[in-house]
Each structure stands twice: as structure tokens, then as C-alpha cells.
């Protein structure tokens, strides 16, 4: 399956999260991927509404990532999603949760949210999750799928479960570790070399070989001016397409 070209997707994203560290971690993950551009970080719903009410129409977000845990319960979650939909034409709201709260998931689904992700499930794959949610009626992560297996809400029952992370069997332990440190954790090569107890020359060799392996297993179309590190980040965090193909069966097993 050929994935749509990277340059065809350009999403403006607003993040509302009361957890300062989660807010900035999500922002940093999205910054690695050119499909998303974060236009505002809000620590409270009030800050989010102040931004939305003062922003020109052309700069209003395409996607709002909403910390559902701290809005004040199911009614507040539903009200916020409904109001976002009323104020911003075509906006997609994706709820994020630190813990599983089935009543919040149900409220989000009934109010028309595009998805509900458990933070510990989605993590580095947040951009892939956003794009996935935009192509499905309602998307949820695996933990949410298991927790809501006995619920009969139509959108939850038929929800698309986001796939797991793509696997690269040819990445050996040391090459994989080097890629994690330099690409996912963002360490400079000399600090990653110190962490692994190897020379700078060796870690550069690991990274070069890692890039080759990643490229050999990917047919995604990237912007020509992307750095090798950017492409590697996207490849390492991409969804497993084979896992996606088996999801309907998995969902039935859960239910």
C-alpha cells in the first residue's frame, strides 16, 4: 500500500493539556513531522478559548488535541467538543487521556470527536495517530479498545484501533540503540557515543547503516528537503500496515 505523499498534508494543531510536561512533549513530537504545525499551546481551556476567539479565520486549527482528563467530567468533555465544532468549521477534535475513563470516551464519541488516545499508547506516534484519525470515523488506541469492549455505543463499537509501531527486523540491538538515542531522543552523536561506550566513528557507522535499513523498508514519499534524521524519525514511528490489516479481527476478539 502506498501512503499519500508527505507534502500533501499540512495540519494546524492546537494542544490543550493541563500537564506542562505532557504539553511540551507532545509539541516536540509533532515538531519532528512536517505534516503538523502547532499554532498554540494552552494549559487551560480558558487559554485555548482566548486563542481561538482572537485568531483569524485562516489560522484557526484543523485539529485540536484535548486533555480530556481535566475538563470537569463527561458533560464538560462533550460540551467542549461540541463548542469547538460550532466555532471552527471542519475542526477535528482528538481527546488524550493519561488514564482510561470509559465514561469520558463515551462522551467524546457521542459529541463527535475524531478519536480518543491513551497517551502511553500513542506517545511518539502522535502525528501518525492524528492522520489516521482523520481517515476514520472514530479512532482509539488499543487500551481504549480493550476497556470499551463491552460498550455498545455505535462509534466506539465500530472504532478503528490505531496500529502498532512498524517493525524493522534487520535493525540489530546496537544499531537500534544508536537510532533511538540520536533520532528518537535527539542526542548529538558524540553524546550518544559516550552513552553507548563506543567511538564517534562507530556510532556514525551505526546511524548510516540504520538509515539504509529504514529506507529499504519504506515507500513513503517525503519532501525532498527533509533531513535524513527527519525521515528516520517518521520511519521509526510509523504504523505497522500489516497490523492494521488484522485490526478488525482483533477488535472482534476483544468484544
d(C-alpha 213, C-alpha 126), whole Å: 23
> 221 with 207: CB under 8 angstroms?
no
* Average pLDDT for 61-87: 97
Give the pLDDT of residue 221. 77
148/189 same-domain check: no
In a domain, 142, yes or no: yes
Domain count, the chain: 2
> 251 with 145: CB under 8 angstroms?
yes
- Which of these ranges, 6-15, 150-159, 241-250, has the smallest mean pLDDT? 241-250
> 142 with 121: CB under 8 angstroms?
yes
pLDDT category at 226 given cuts 50, 70, 90 is confident
CA distances to 52, 79, 136, 172 from 132, rounded to whole Å, are 24, 24, 7, 29
25/145 same-domain check: yes
pLDDT in tens, 181-225: 999 888 999 999 999 999 999 999 999 999 999 988 887 778 788
29/108 same-domain check: yes
Range of the domain at 133: 6-165+242-254
DSSP string for residues in 90-153: T-EEEEEESS--HHHHHHHHHHT-SEEEEHHHHGGGHHHHHHHHHTSSSEE-HHHHHHTTT---
d(C-alpha 145, C-alpha 156), whole Å: 8
96/193 same-domain check: no
% helix, strand, coil for the chain, step of 5: 55, 15, 30
Give the pLDDT of residue 17. 97
pTM, 2 dp: 0.86
154/192 same-domain check: no
151/216 same-domain check: no
Cell of 59: 489560522
Question: Where residue 134 sits, what CATH number does that domain have?
Answer: 3.40.50.2300
Amino acid at each position: 500500500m502506498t501512503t499519500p505523499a508527505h507534502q500533501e498534508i499540512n495540519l494546524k494543531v492546537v494542544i490543550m493539556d493541563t500537564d506542562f510536561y505532557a504539553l511540551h512533549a507532545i509539541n516536540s513530537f509533532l515538531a519532528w513531522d512536517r505534516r503538523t504545525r502547532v499554532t498554540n499551546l494552552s494549559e487551560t481551556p480558558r487559554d485555548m478559548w482566548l486563542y481561538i476567539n482572537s485568531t483569524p479565520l485562516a489560522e484557526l486549527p484543523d485539529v485540536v488535541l484535548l486533555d480530556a482528563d481535566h475538563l470537569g467530567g463527561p458533560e464538560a468533555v462533550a460540551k467542549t467538543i461540541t463548542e469547538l465544532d460550532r466555532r471552527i468549521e471542519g475542526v477535528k477534535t482528538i481527546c488524550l487521556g493519561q488514564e482510561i475513563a470509559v465514561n469520558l470516551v463515551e462522551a467524546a464519541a457521542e459529541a463527535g470527536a475524531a478519536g480518543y488516545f491513551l497517551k502511553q499508547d500513542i506517545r511518539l506516534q502522535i502525528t501518525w495517530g492524528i492522520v489516521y484519525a482523520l481517515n476514520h470515523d472514530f479512532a482509539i488506541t488499543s487500551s481504549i479498545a480493550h476497556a470499551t469492549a463491552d460498550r455498545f455505543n455505535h462509534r466506539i463499537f465500530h472504532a478503528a484501533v490505531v496500529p502498532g509501531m512498524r517493525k524493522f527486523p534487520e535493525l540489530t540491538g546496537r544499531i537500534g540503540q544508536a537510532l533511538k538515542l540520536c533520532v528518537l531522543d535527539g542526542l548529538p552523536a558524540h553524546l550518544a557515543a559516550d552513552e553507548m561506550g563506543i567511538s564517534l566513528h562507530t556510532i556514525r557507522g551505526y546511524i548510516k547503516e540504520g538509515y539504509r535499513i529504514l529506507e529499504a523498508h519504506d515507500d513513503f514519499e517525503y519532501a525532498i528537503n527533509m533531513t535524513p534524521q527527519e525521515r528516520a524519525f517518521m520511519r521509526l514511528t510509523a504504523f505497522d500496515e500489516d497490523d492494521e490489516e488484522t485490526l478488525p479481527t482483533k477488535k472482534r476478539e476483544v468484544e
